[in-house]
Amino acid sequence: MNPSRVARVERKTKETSVLVEVDIDGRGRVDVNTGVGFFDHMLSQLGKHGLFDLTVKTEGDLHIDAHHTVEDTALALGEAYRQALGTKEGIRRFGHAWVPLDEALAQATVDLSGRPYVIHNEPAGMAPMIGEYDTTLTRHIVESFSAQAQICIHLHVPYGRNAHHIVEAQFKALAQAMRDACAFDPRIVGVPSTKGVL
């Protein structure tokens, strides 16, 4: 029987107060409220399509802008995933997904390597805002999540026109790739690395 892969992380600064709970082996149940509507929608995609149970409650200095709220939430989320993954024994480690959303197509490839690294490419000339969400934050979210989760993420959108579709396809692809990488494989004994540690 595999151990429960759950975590609870609280992050408090002068700018934000964040609570994140994650169950990697969930059913895609989400309860998310950051005060940034489109970001909530993206976190919901991560939970739903990754089959991760995800609770996120953030209060931030939105009177300034969404940056601190989004950044600190992504950092806490990454820390929660890192804790929940534990020793990573028996997991597949690598995950990959292509996800279309109408005219947009996103590719995500992840390695739960213990080494944060991000490659992020998306079409130039996207609309700068989706509601109160600054579209330049997408890369920063992925970088912040990767840094704390200690995983390697490659996200690529070869084409797309609608900013909403371009960003959402990325979160759905990341969810699918993470779901694949976090999955247990009964043939794997111990940690899937010749180093013996991830």
pLDDT score for 114? 96
The pTM score is 0.96
Decide the pairing of beta strands 30-33 and 53-60: parallel
* Segments in the chain below pLDDT 70: 1-2
Interior angle at CA 118, CA 145 and CA 67, nearest 5: 45
157: its two tokens: 């959108």
Q: How far apart are CA 39 and CA 131, in angstroms?
A: 10
- Over residues 168-178, the pLDDT tens digits come to 999 999 999 99
Percent of the chain at pLDDT > 70 equals: 99
